[in-house]
């Protein structure tokens, strides 16, 4: 398996940030801002998703807005799912 962003895997505790799936064979790096929009594979633009949640994002069922970092270094992603805005802790 080719890991494009080891920091994202490590800080996500090798789990999908949306559902908690931890099977490494199903985990993918997703860029919040797509490559076509100059999105890079740096940690600030990436989240770790299982293949099921990754498909939901690309199908438009879940929208990942952005990554937030608090003053205490906790990281959250802001999403919209079923019309509801949520903050999910990444670390």
Q: What is the pLDDT of residues 35-56, one digit of tens each?
A: 666 666 777 888 889 999 999 9
The reported pLDDT for the residue numbered 1 is: 40
Which tops the pLDDT comparison, 14 or 62?
Answer: 62
CA atoms within 13 A on the CB side of 88: 23
| Separation CA 21–CA 57 (nearest Å) | 15
Overall average pLDDT of the 76-91 stretch: 89
Closest CA to 49 of 71, 85, 81, 82: 81
CA pair distance 36, 48, nearest whole angstrom: 19
Higher pLDDT, residue 10 or 20: 20
């Amino acid at each position: 398996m080719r890991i494009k962003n080891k920091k994202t895997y490590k800080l996500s505790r090798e789990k999908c940030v949306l559902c908690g799936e931890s099977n490494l064979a199903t985990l993918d790096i997703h860029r919040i801002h797509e490559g076509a929009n100059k999105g890079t594979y740096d940690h600030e633009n990436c989240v770790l998703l299982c293949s099921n949640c990754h498909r939901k994002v690309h199908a438009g069922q879940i929208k990942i807005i952005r990554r937030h970092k608090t003053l205490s270094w906790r990281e959250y992603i802001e999403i919209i799912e079923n019309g509801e805005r949520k903050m999910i802790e990444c670390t």
